[in-house]
């Protein structure tokens, strides 16, 4: 039995079925990480996308109950060269195939993923479809699918109701916060759980609000600071969020991560653009222009900030990507606001950049 991966405009690639039978569509993107497939599949920033892994063997340590970054699979589909059928890890509860089948995720293996990744690097990301039926099913699905850039995925991944997160994880929102060093509001544009875990480890209680929350609703919680979370899609489509961030400027210390960085830059007067194939992996070198250090970072984004657009906004570029010199961090001292384009919480990835959580806590403490 065959499965097919069809890219918009070609080619049609034949492979082996993986996961649940069916047909799925999404923007195909590649991730160069060697590990972390469970976290990546459950990362809300991958909503609307089919993830292709360049590492040739995926699933070799199975699936466990602890490493999810949200409450569901967020990616539309998965493409691998080979899915491991006999995982080896003491925490393993099921194989990758069993997990995908259980969650209804259509995937494919037996694809030359490195060759396809090179093609995406040259031609750019595009819409694609995976089917366990005939290739005509994928072609029809592609014709009917909405373009990735025309969709507002943030509204589908954000929390529907406020909740709190503390030392023990998710907790009742009315719980006593007296045992914490500080309280922040997190605007959930596509939040990963490990961000909340990192804050809790520093003694910070997080109150998570829907992406559509107004500045007035944020300030009603009387937070010591506000986090602008990561998330999927084009930041230029999120005018409601940009307006909220603009109204919060100067009211509380702000810290943005990934999409949160882009929204902060828009609020300050900057602009963003779409990268040809994005940054997705766990080995991106970033230079901090303030302390002159270089960290290896975990990244997952398809858009970047126009450096020139920040001129005259009062924003200072603080970090640069050493691969392509794109903007990786900014700060506005006048508004007590800073942000970074990558993921300091990792999951997956190195821990080099956890210091930026500490810097945000220090900013809160000064306030």
Residue ranges per structural domain of the chain: 3-150, 154-366
CATH code that applies to domain 154-366: 3.40.50.880
Q: 330 near 261, Cβ under 8 Å?
A: yes
Catalytic residues: 258, 343, 345
Cα separation, 335 vs 220, whole angstroms: 19
Residue 138: the pLDDT is: 97
Q: 244 near 220, Cβ under 8 Å?
A: no
CATH code that applies to domain 3-150: 3.50.30.20
Residue 176: the pLDDT is: 86
Cα separation, 293 vs 270, whole angstroms: 25
The pair of structure tokens assigned to 57 is 């063997």
Residue 177: the pLDDT is: 85
Residues with pLDDT less than 70, the chain = none
Residue 314: the pLDDT is: 95
DSSP per-residue letters across 57-68? EE-TT-B-SS--
**CA separation, residue 315 to residues 106, 135, 240, 260, 264 (Å):** 43, 49, 21, 15, 10
Residue 111: the pLDDT is: 98
Residue 367: the pLDDT is: 82
* pLDDT tens digit sequence for 31-58: 999 999 999 999 999 999 999 999 999 9
Residue with tokens 């107004």: 214
Question: In the Cβ-directed half-sphere of 269, how many Cα atoms lie within 13 Å?
Answer: 10
pTM over 0.95? The answer is yes
Where do runs of H (alpha helix) occur along the chain?
37-41, 96-103, 113-123, 135-144, 154-157, 193-201, 215-219, 239-248, 259-268, 355-366
Torsion of CA 197, 198, 203, 205, to 10 degrees: -50
Residue 54: the pLDDT is: 97
Q: 326 near 320, Cβ under 8 Å?
A: yes
Cα 43–137–47 angle (5° rounding)? 10
């Amino acid at each position: 039995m065959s499965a097919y991966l069809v890219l918009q405009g070609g080619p049609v690639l034949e492979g082996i079925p993986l996961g649940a039978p069916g047909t799925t569509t999404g923007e195909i993107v590649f991730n160069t990480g060697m590990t972390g497939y469970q976290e990546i599949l459950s990362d809300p920033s991958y909503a609307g996308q089919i993830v292709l892994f360049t590492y040739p063997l995926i699933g070799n340590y199975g699936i466990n109950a602890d490493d999810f970054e949200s409450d569901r699979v967020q990616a539309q589909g998965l493409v691998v060269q080979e899915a491991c059928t006999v995982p080896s890890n003491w925490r393993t509860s099921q194989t990758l195939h069993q997990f995908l089948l259980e969650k209804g995720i259509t995937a494919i293996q037996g694809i030359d993923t490195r060759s396809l990744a090179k093609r995406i690097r040259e031609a750019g990301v595009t819409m694609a479809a995976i089917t366990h039926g005939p290739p005509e099913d994928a072609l029809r699905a592609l014709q009917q699918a909405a373009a990735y850039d025309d969709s507002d995925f943030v509204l589908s991944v954000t929390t529907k109701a406020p909740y709190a997160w503390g030392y023990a994880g998710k907790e009742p929102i009315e719980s006593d916060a007296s045992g914490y060093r500080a309280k922040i509001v997190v605007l959930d544009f596509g939040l990963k759980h490990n961000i909340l875990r990192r804050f809790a480890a520093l003694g910070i209680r997080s109150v998570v609000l829907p992406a559509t929350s107004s500045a007035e609703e944020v300030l009603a919680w009387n937070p010591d600071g506000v986090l602008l979370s990561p998330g999927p899609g084009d930041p230029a489509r999120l005018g409601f969020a940009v307006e909220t961030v603009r109204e919060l400027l100067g009211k509380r210390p702000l810290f943005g991560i990934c999409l949160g960085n882009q929204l902060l830059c828009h609020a300050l007067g900057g602009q963003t653009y779409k990268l040809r194939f994005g940054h997705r992996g766990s080995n991106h070198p970033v230079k901090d222009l303030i302390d002159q250090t270089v960290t290896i970072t975990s990244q997952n984004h398809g858009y970047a900030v126009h450096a020139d657009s920040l001129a005259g906004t009062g924003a200072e570029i603080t970090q640069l990507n050493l691969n392509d010199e794109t903007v990786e961090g900014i700060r506005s001292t006048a508004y007590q606001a800073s942000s970074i384009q990558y993921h300091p919480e990792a999951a997956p990835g190195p821990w080099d950049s956890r210091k930026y959580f500490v810097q945000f806590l220090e900013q809160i403490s000064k306030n």
